[in-house]
Amino acid sequence: MKSFFNRFHNQFLSRWVVLLMDVFIVTFAFMLSTVIRFNFELDYIDPALFKYHLVLVVAVKMVFFVILRTHAGIVRHTNLLDARNIVNASLLSVVTLFLLGSLGRGEVSVLDIPHSILVIDLFVSVFAMLGSRVLVKDIFRSLSLNWKPRKKVVIYGAGRLGIATKNALSGNLGTPYKVLFFVDDNPQKKGMSIEGINVYDRLQAKQVIQEAGFKDVELIFAIQSITTAQKNEITEEFMSLGMALRIVPPVEQWINGQLNASQIADVSIEDLLERPAISIRNDEVRSFLHKKRIMVTGAAGSIGSEIARQVIGFRPQELILVDQAESPLYDLESELVRLGICEGNDCLKIEVENITSRGSMRKVFARYRPEVVFHAAAYKHVPLMENNPNKALEVNVFGTRLMADLSVEFGVGRFVFISTDKAVNPTNVMGASKRLAEMYVQSLNTVKGVKTRFITTRFGNVLGSNGSVIPLFKRQIAAGGPVTVTHPEIIRYFMTIPEACQLVLEAGTMGEGGEIFVFDMGVPVKIIDLAHKMIRLSGKEPYTQIPISFTGLRPGEKLYEELLSDEESTLPTHHPKIMVARMKPSVYYEVKQEMDRVSATLSGMSQEEVVQFLKFMVPEYISKNSPYEKLDHVEL
């Protein structure tokens, strides 16, 4: 029987079978209603007349059933709309039978059915049809729950959100769930039972799980008013029991005001970032971006695409997205179009271009005349740029220089350059190239007659960005390990992509030109601790179920990143998370002269020659764990 159900449970009854079932129901209902009307005294019923009445009632009801398609719904998924159709069809049938009866009033007629029988029949037939559907739905649900493996879950939060979560899980037949109990910190709810499910506090919950020996249990956060610190504390307690963690989305993200079980997502490492949420002054950012022509380079990347998402919400006149990566740029365009913010999508402009192409980019600037440029295009992967320093110089330095020069040429109001903490005391080619780009951009503000305000933003790693450690760890955990960490002591600053981009917009708003804005990245995180937490979030145990291996520092990698060099200090701004690095800008003509000297011969330069040039331009660039260490003391 179980195998039969598992084989056929996804197949639906034909609508004609449902209609035939309704024929039997209304036939029986009319017979029962007639008997009830005459107090079960069959002698009062005229069989010859009754058969015509029966045929008439069934025929009229079938007509309205077909018109209103009461048989078209899937019985196991019967809802209020189906019930409304049944009631409407029954009411219309009764009204029609009343009208037909009035035609034959005054004499014995097959059309004249006693009104009392029709009224009784209305209630009996509606009750029977709805009851049959509810019965089928309940039987199917019971079979689904009993003959399918059920996931065991514990719901953290016994309030309205927790009850809504329990109901959403109970109604999900695709993947049946069994709610073991609620967990709630409110002492008044301890020991209570909600809809037949017990409520425990944290200590009781852990004891129950340990004593019962439950395996593969999920903990679902169904509580919104909880701090990140509290969430981390709870996470640590229950992850130690081998539980996977999931979280209910905010109410405003529910579909049509209803929570669907498929919306309950895994708790991500971003949810556990130990930092209060960052807020920005939307009014000032809106005045900065609204009805402006905004260009974003590197728009297909993780930072550029998030900047685009946030900028479009402020309704710019035009949003020009530039990237050479065609497919992800198309995906971003499709996503933004679906938002429906641009009327007729006229404000969204897509340009598949390489930022190092002077002729192409000049045409783009001439075509759109942007007022604000967010320059996020760059090569950012440290090991790859260590092996390809020519490309790092070409894109990160000369590409940035071209974008900055074109911004001056075409009168861009503000140019916001996205830099990195790896530009501080760089130990690798990527960081040195970004530092040289910073120097050039900042020096432009000292040039007389330049009206463009050049603003640099500098921050550390962003969680979940393309090529970052988070997606890598996720893939490794999904594959069963090993999770690879370069060094047990390596630490990094982290913030989420939306946080970083919010601060970029805020810095772009407040910048007067020439500043290097540094973001408060919070407390640095040990990568090994990050790996442990991500493994436990998946419901596994580090080392025992998911191995961890140490691969050694990669070329150019250092144990910790800095947001300021030894020669820099910071000044506060009106935003507590944004500071200005105090540093003397480079002399524009000196930087330009050296870059001009190299630009003409870059294609023919060796890797060592490129690195030597970077070390000359950025004296604090000292290679680490790299073959370029031999060049640290070589004079150019």
pLDDT digits (tens, 9 = 90+) for 483-517: 998 888 888 777 778 878 888 898 888 888 888 88
Among 132-136, 181-185, 341-345, 424-428, which is the least confidently predicted range?
A: 341-345
pLDDT for position 432: 94
Higher pLDDT, 592 or 503: 592
Q: Is residue 528 part of a domain?
A: no
Q: Name the residue with tokens 């079960």.
A: 40
Q: Is 534 a member of any domain?
A: no
CA distance 98 to 457: 79
Q: What is the mean pLDDT of residues 61-77?
A: 68
pLDDT value at residue 307: 93
Residues 418 and 378: beta-carbon distance below 8 Å:
yes
Residue 43, pLDDT above cutoff 90: no
Within this chain, do residues 72 and 216 fall inside the same structural domain, yes or no? no
Peptide bond into 471 cis (omega under 30): no
Span of 142-151, 169-178, 188-197, 329-338 with lowest mean pLDDT: 142-151
Q: From 209, 235, 267, give the residue that closes a domain.
A: 267
Residues 6+ apart with CB under 8 A from 174: 261
Q: What's the DSSP call for residue 255? A: B
Please state the length of the chain: 636
pLDDT score for 77: 53
> What is the arithmetic mean of pLDDT over 230-235?
77
Q: Are residues 364 and 245 in the same domain?
A: no
| Two tokens, residue 383 | 């090991």
Which one, of 531, 552, 525, lies nearest residue 475 by Cα?
Answer: 531
What is the predicted pLDDT for the residue at 285?
A: 86
Residue 22 inside a domain? The answer is yes
Give the residue with greater pLDDT, 84 vs 290.
290
Tokens for 500? 């970083």
| Residue 604 and residue 510 share a domain | yes
Instruction: Please say if the pLDDT value at position 10 is more than 90.
Output: no
Residue 472: what pLDDT? 84
Checking phi first, is residue 480 left (phi over 0); if not, alpha (psi -120 to 50) or beta? left
Task: State the Cα–Cα distance between residues 421 and 143, nearest whole angstrom.
Answer: 58
Longest dimension (CA), the chain: 121
| DSSP-assigned beta bridge partners for residue 494 | 461
Same domain, 213 and 327: no
pLDDT band at residue 455, thresholds of 50, 70 and 90?
very high
Query: How far apart are alpha carbons 423 and 562 in whole angstroms?
Result: 9
- Is residue 157 located within the same domain as residue 205? yes
pLDDT band at 5 (very low <50, low <70, confident <90, very high): very low
pLDDT higher at 292 or 1: 292
pLDDT digits (tens, 9 = 90+) for 307-325: 999 999 888 999 999 999 9
**Unique residue bearing structure tokens 């709870």:** 234
Residue 241 domain-assigned (yes or no): yes
Q: What is the pLDDT of residues 568-585, one digit of tens each?
A: 566 677 777 777 777 788
Number of domain units in the chain: 3
Mean pLDDT confidence for 588-609? 90
Give the confidence band of 47 by pLDDT, cuts at 50, 70, 90.
confident
Domain end residue (candidates: 89, 114, 146): 146
In 3D space, the residue among 598, 570, 572, 574 whose CA is nearest the CA of residue 583 turns out to be 570
- Range of weakest confidence among 51-60, 163-172, 596-605: 163-172
Is beta strand 461-463 parallel, antiparallel or unpaired with respect to 494-496?
Answer: parallel
Question: What's the DSSP call for residue 546?
Answer: B
**Which residue in 364, 373, 296, 306 sits closest to 335, CA to CA?**
306
| Residue pLDDT, tens place only, 254-279 | 655 566 666 776 676 666 655 555 56
Q: 508 lies in which domain range?
A: 288-462+496-520+562-628
Residue 109 has pLDDT above 70, yes or no: no
Residue 229 scores a pLDDT above 80: no
Closest-CA residue to 457 (of 538, 511, 412): 511
Residue 99 and residue 155 share a domain:
no
* Integer Cα distance of 503 and 595 in angstroms: 31
Residue 529 lies in a domain: no
Same domain, yes or no: 54 and 130: yes
What gap in Å lies between CA 299 and CA 278, rounded to an integer?
23
Structure-derived torsion over alpha carbons of residues 548, 550, 555, 561, reported in degrees to the nearest 10? 80
Helix (H) or strand (E) holding 141: helix 115-147
Mean pLDDT of 423-448: 92
What pLDDT does 294 receive?
A: 95
What single-letter amino acid sits at 311? Answer: V
* The residue type at 324: Q
Are 308 and 236 in a shared domain? no
For residues 483 and 476, give the distance between their C-alpha atoms in angstroms, rounded to a whole number.
Answer: 6
pLDDT of residue 625: 81
Contact between 512 and 453 under an 8 Å Cβ cutoff? The reply is yes
358 domain residue, yes or no: yes
Name the residue type at position 125. Answer: S
**Alpha-carbon torsion 516, 522, 524, 530, what sign?**
negative
Mean pLDDT score of the chain, rounded to an integer?
80
Question: Between vectors from CA 338 to CA 332 and to CA 342, what angle results, nearest 5°?
Answer: 90
Q: To the nearest 10°, report the CA torsion of 622, 578, 308, 384.
A: 10
Count the Cβ atoms, other than its own, within 10 Å of residue 146. Answer: 11
Q: Which residues contact 151 (CB under 8 A, 6 or more apart)?
A: 175, 176, 177, 178, 216, 218
Enclosing H/E stretch for 484: strand 483-485
Span of 44-48, 432-436, 622-626 with lowest mean pLDDT: 44-48
Q: How far is CA 201 from CA 184, 223, 347, in A?
A: 5, 14, 53
Say if residue 193's pLDDT is above 60: yes
Residues 455 and 323 in one domain: yes
153 and 137 in a single domain? The answer is: no
Q: Give the chain's radius of gyration (CA, Å).
A: 35
Of 199, 234, 267, which residue is a domain's last? Answer: 267
Question: Does residue 288 contact residue 372 with C-beta atoms inside 8 Å?
Answer: yes
Strand pairing category for 193-194 and 197-200: antiparallel
| Mean pLDDT confidence for 380-385 | 90
CATH number of the domain that 446 lies in?
A: 3.40.50.720
User: Would you say residue 341 has pLDDT above 70?
Assistant: yes
Mean pLDDT of 441-467: 83
pLDDT at residue 252, rounded to an integer? 59
pTM > 0.95: yes or no: no
| 318 lies in the same domain as 223 | no
| pLDDT over 60 at 173, yes or no | no
Residues 211 and 313 in one domain: no
**Is 473 within a domain?**
no
Predicted pLDDT of residue 11: 45
- Cβ 474 vs Cβ 268: under 8 Å: no
Burial class (CB in 10 A: 0-12, 13-18, 19+), 415: buried
